[in-house]
């Protein structure tokens, strides 16, 4: 029997990962571990020029409890494997928006001298920033990386005009977690909720609510990611050739109908906002199921009394095949200001691009579940987690990430999400769904055109 990792050990390290996934940015800072010699500077306002060559690199990152420990782990790994004089200076930003602002300022002025060698960048934004400032980033072409070791969906964000630009860091693969004790109370097992249709899920959810008063699922009603997750599990997008396509897409309509139906039947609780979603429904123990990017795990783990009662599986789908989706994540990009691109490419390739050691330490020290598929076979990833009933969730999540469908994305993803979330709420409260979806489509088109 494999040894279990006490979930409390990883829980403390993973706390901020939920904030990263949902877009909040913690402003805390921490010093880099002495043995990594990765220096963490907290003066985000100071110029952050590249390292001027040599064996030193500089990088912007923003989370001392999550991605910064991952960078420290990578620096230590690289240093220990034939690069004794390597140094990585981590310049801590208060949030991902600081990195985006720095790239915007540099690109707008045409002066990249204040950028570091490498920046951590959110996946969903990189295509827009590369299009706006095509000279800001250096391609990773020529780096010794087997890109098939990463899920196609993950690297689709950072592949531009057929070239790879980003090195994946954290994994946004969605989990569907269930309270096994609540399921058992209602006569069900995990097998009964794996590979099922949303209609069957709704039937089970009605029983669960009737017997226990708990919803089988919840989501932030204002920033409703469930629509996107359910659609991606179908291999479907809300977009077609850059245009929002809702009322003319049968799967979009069907998914929205299912969501409204679940909300009306108390199977799905649509929270008033993000705080209501996390604090009341999950931490407040209102639900028997959680579906979101795996960064939601630290929020779940705050309810210590539920340790050992949760297990994870795949998502339901319209026809009952096992569904896979992703929500959130970031990658590392070399900037135009890098004076030693060969070193930067080699560092990224030999750490996040190929080293299970980097990913093991990133998981243990920062709670970062990586995207490198072979890392899922390591002893660390294979160990069970007490909170999830001894389930080896980390290797499972990495394996699931390799199955996430690649779908069309848009720079207006969040704009459409806002309008669709409102459409769902209005339909739940009695409005005509098709009218609401048409309004969401029209409003988004207007903003794109404007």
Q: Are residues 287 and 365 in the same domain?
A: no
Q: How far is CA 334 from CA 53, 73, 119, in A?
A: 13, 19, 7
Residues 59, 190: one domain?
Answer: no
Distance CA 176, CA 426 (A): 26
* Strand ranges inside 55-117, DSSP E: 56-61, 87-92
* Strand segments (E) across 294-364: 310-313, 330-335
Q: What's the domain count of the chain?
A: 2
- Say if 406 falls within a structural domain: no
Is residue 204 a contact partner of residue 428, using CB atoms and an 8 Å limit? no
Of the candidates 331, 374, 359, 348, the residue with the CA atom closest to the CA atom of residue 143: 348
- Rounded to 5 degrees, φ, ψ at 273 are -165, -175
Looking at the structure, tell me whether residues 267 and 342 fall in a common domain. Answer: no
pTM summary value: 0.84
Q: Residue 394's closest CA among 1, 70, 5? A: 5
407 exposure class (CB count in 10 Å sphere: 0-12, 13-18, 19+): middle
**Contact (Cβ atoms closer than 8 angstroms) between residue 333 and residue 358:** no
Query: How high is the pLDDT of residue 63?
Result: 87
Tell me the pLDDT of the chain (450 aa) as tens digits: 433 443 444 444 444 444 444 433 332 223 233 333 344 554 444 445 666 768 999 999 998 888 999 999 999 999 999 999 999 999 999 989 999 999 999 999 999 999 999 999 999 889 999 999 999 999 999 999 999 999 999 999 999 999 999 999 999 999 999 999 999 999 999 999 999 999 999 999 999 999 999 999 999 999 999 999 999 999 999 999 999 999 999 999 999 999 999 999 999 999 999 999 999 999 999 999 999 999 899 899 999 999 999 999 999 999 999 999 999 889 999 999 999 999 999 999 999 999 999 999 999 998 899 999 999 999 999 999 999 999 999 999 999 999 999 999 998 998 999 999 999 999 999 999 999 999 999 999 999 995
Report d(CA 335, CA 353) in Å as an integer: 18
CA distance 336 to 364: 32
To the nearest 10 degrees (0 to 180), the angle between helices 67-80 and 356-366 is 140
| Same-domain pairing of 287 and 431 | yes
User: Quick one: 297 and 443 in the same domain?
Assistant: yes
Residue 204 domain-assigned (yes or no)? yes
The CA–CA distances, whole Å, from 212 to 9, 44, 184, 261, 285 equal: 31, 49, 11, 20, 12
Q: Do 331 and 307 lie in a common domain?
A: no
Q: Name every residue whose Cβ is closer than 8 Å to that of residue 132 and which is 6 or more positions away in sequence.
A: 104, 107
pLDDT recorded at residue 12 = 43
Please name the residues in contact with 148: beta carbons below 8 A apart, sequence gap of 6 or more. none
Determine, yes or no, domain membership for 108.
Answer: yes
274: in domain: yes
- Burial environment of residue 339 by CB neighbours within 10 A (0 to 12, 13 to 18, 19 or more): middle
- Residues facing 215 on adjacent strands: 287
Q: Is residue 271 part of a domain?
A: yes
Statement to judge: residues 192 and 233 lie in one domain = yes
Structure confidence at residue 411 (pLDDT): 86
**Confidence (pLDDT) at 30:** 30
Q: 55 and 182 share a domain?
A: no
pLDDT, position 199: 98
Q: Confirm whether 407 is domain-assigned.
A: no
* 372 and 237 in a common domain: no
| CATH code, domain with 219 | 3.40.190.10
307 and 209 in a single domain? The answer is yes
pLDDT score recorded for residue 307: 98
Look-up: residue for tokens 């598929």?
373
Residues 114 and 213 grouped into a single domain: no
Rg (CA), the chain: 22
Give 323's strand partners: 315
Domain containing residue 333 = 4-172+327-401
> Quick one: 167 and 183 in the same domain?
no
Reported as a single tens digit per residue, the pLDDT across 8-46 is 444 444 444 444 444 333 322 232 333 333 445 544 444
């Amino acid at each position: 029997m494999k040894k279990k990792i006490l979930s409390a050990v990883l829980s403390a390290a993973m706390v901020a990962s939920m904030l990263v996934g949902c877009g909040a940015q913690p402003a805390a800072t921490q010093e880099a571990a002495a043995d990594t010699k990765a220096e963490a500077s907290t003066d985000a306002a100071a110029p952050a020029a590249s390292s001027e060559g040599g064996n030193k690199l500089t990088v912007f990152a923003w989370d001392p409890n999550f991605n910064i420990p991952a960078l420290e782990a990578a620096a230590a790994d690289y240093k220990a494997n034939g690069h004794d004089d390597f140094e990585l200076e981590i310049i801590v930003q208060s949030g991902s928006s600081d990195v985006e602002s720095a790239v915007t300022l540099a690109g707008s002025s045409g002066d990249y001298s204040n950028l570091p060698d490498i920046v951590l960048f959110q996946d969903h934004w990189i295509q827009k920033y590369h299009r706006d400032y095509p000279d800001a980033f250096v391609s990773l072409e020529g780096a010794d990386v087997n890109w098939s070791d990463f899920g196609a969906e993950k690297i689709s964000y950072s592949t531009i005009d057929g070239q790879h630009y980003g090195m994946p860091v954290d994994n946004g693969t969605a989990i569907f977690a269930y309270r096994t004790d609540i399921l058992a109370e209602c006569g069900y097992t995990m097998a009964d909720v794996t590979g099922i249709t949303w209609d069957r899920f709704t039937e089970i959810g009605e029983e669960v609510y009737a017997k226990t008063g708990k919803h089988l699922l919840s989501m932030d009603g204002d920033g409703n990611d469930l629509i996107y997750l359910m659609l991606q599990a179908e291999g479907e997008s809300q977009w077609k050739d850059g245009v929002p396509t809702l009322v003319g897409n049968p799967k979009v309509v069907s998914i929205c109908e299912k969501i409204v139906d679940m909300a009306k039947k108390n199977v799905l609780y649509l929270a008033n906002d993000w705080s209501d979603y996390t604090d009341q429904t999950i931490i407040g123990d209102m639900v028997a199921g959680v579906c979101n990017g795996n960064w939601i795990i630290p929020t779940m783990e705050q309810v210590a009394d539920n340790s050992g009662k949760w297990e994870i599986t795949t998502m339901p789908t319209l026809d009952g095949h096992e569904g896979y989706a992703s929500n959130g994540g970031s990658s590392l990009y070399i900037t135009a200001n890098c004076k030693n691109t060969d070193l930067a490419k080699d560092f990224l390739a030999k750490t996040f691009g190929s080293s299970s050691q980097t990913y093991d330490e990133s998981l243990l020290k920062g709670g970062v579940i990586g995207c490198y598929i072979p890392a899922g076979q390591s002893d660390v990833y294979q160990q069970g987690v007490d909170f999830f009933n001894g389930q080896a969730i980390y290797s499972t999540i990495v394996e699931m990430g390799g199955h996430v469908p690649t779908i069309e994305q848009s720079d207006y993803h969040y704009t459409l999400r806002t309008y669709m979330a409102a459409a769902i709420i209005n339909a739940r409260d009695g409005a005509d769904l098709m009218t609401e979806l048409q309004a969401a489509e029209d409003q988004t088109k207007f903003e794109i055109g404007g």
